[in-house]
Amino acid sequence: MTYKINGTTLSTQPTTGQWMPREPAGYDGNGHPIYPGVRSFELNWDIIDASSADQLQDWYVAAGNTGTVVAQLPYFISGSYTFFPYSGCVINEPSFGQHFTEHYTQVTLLLTNIRT
């Protein structure tokens, strides 16, 4: 079970991954929250090497104006821990923290508009 983007395994698997909590757009007249229909998933790395960082950045640039990729992620809430390829995900530009020796720390990649 590995994280993939466009069918390619991430050269460095994330340290952590998380389905981000959705902020409700509001509450209806009965007080029920109105959630958007799409979700976000955040991948975090404590430290990765330069080539892995470059791989993340390349996926973002390659997405271009369409901005969508197929991301294989942990299935959103299932009875077992399995992965599923979600299509039409919007890949945001990865963020990088401080350099440590020849590595990048605190790397985050956010995938949005995921239909689960």
Partner 1 sequence: MQLTAAEQTLLRTRPHTTKLHLSVFQPQAVFKAQINDASIAQGEINITFDNVTLGAYTDIKYDMMMYVGTTPGGDDVGRIRCRSATSTYIEVAENGFIMWTDDLYLTVVNFFEIESKYPRIILNTGTTSTTWYKDYDTPYTNENEIFGVFICMGSHYAGMLNESGQHLVYYTATGTAHAVGNETPDEYYWTFEGGTPSTYTGVTPGWVTYTTPGHYTTKINVSGTNSSYDASYRHISIYGNNSPPVLSWELIKLEGNREAGGYSATIRIRQNVSDNFVRDGSLVVIFAEDWYGDTKQSIGGNAPNRDSIVFVGYVTDGTIHYDWKDKYIEFEVLSPSGVMKLTESFAVSVEDVDDPAAKAAAKPEYYPSAWALLQYMTTSKALYHYLRWHSTVMKCCDVEFVGTKQLIQYADFDRESLYSAIDTFMRSTLRGRAVCDAQGKFWLETDIYTESPRYRNPFRIDAQDYMGEPTVEERLTPTVSFVEAGGIAYGGQTATGTNTPYMSGAPGSSPGYRGTIQRIQGLALEDQDHLNDLAGRIYSYETRKYPRVEYDMVGNYRNFDIAPQEQFRIYIPSDKNPRGSAINEEFFVEGMMWQYDPQRELFLPTVTFSQIPSNPIQGTTIPIPPIPEDDDGFDQPPIEIPLPPIPPIVIPSIGGSFPIFVAATSALDVGSQVYYPIEWFGAKLVNGSDYEGYALFASPAAGSVTITPVVKSTSTVANGNLRCKTSRTSAGCGGTLASSTTGYQTIAASGDSTILQCLSQTLSFSAVIGDIIQAAFYRDGNSLSDTVEGDIHLLGFNVSYA
The answer for residues whose C-beta is within 8 angstroms of residue 116's C-beta and 6 or more apart is 39, 76, 86
Number of CB atoms found within 10 A of residue 107's CB: 22
Report the residue number, 27 or 100, with the smaller CB distance to partner 1.
Answer: 27
Contact status: 36 vs partner 1 (CB under 8 A): yes
Q: Does 100 help bind partner 1 (rule: CB under 8 A)?
A: no
Binding mask 37-76 for partner 1 (x = CB under 8 A): xx--------------------------xxx---------
Residue 29 within binding range of partner 1, rule CB under 8 A: yes
Among 16, 32, 50, 54, binds partner 1 (CB under 8 A): 32
Judged by beta carbon, residue 7 or residue 37, the one nearer partner 1 is 37
30 conformational bin, left if phi > 0, alpha if psi -120 to 50, beta if neither = alpha
Other CB atoms within 10 Å distance of the CB of residue 54: 13
Inter-CA distances, 28 with 3, 38, 91, Å: 37, 18, 31
**Among residues 32 and 99, whose Cβ is nearest to partner 1?**
32
Structural contact between residues 64 and 91, judged by C-beta atoms closer than 8 angstroms: no
| Binder of partner 1 out of 26, 98, 101, 102 (CB under 8 A) | 26
Binding site for partner 1 (CB under 8 A): 25-30, 32, 34-38, 65-67, 90, 112-113, 115
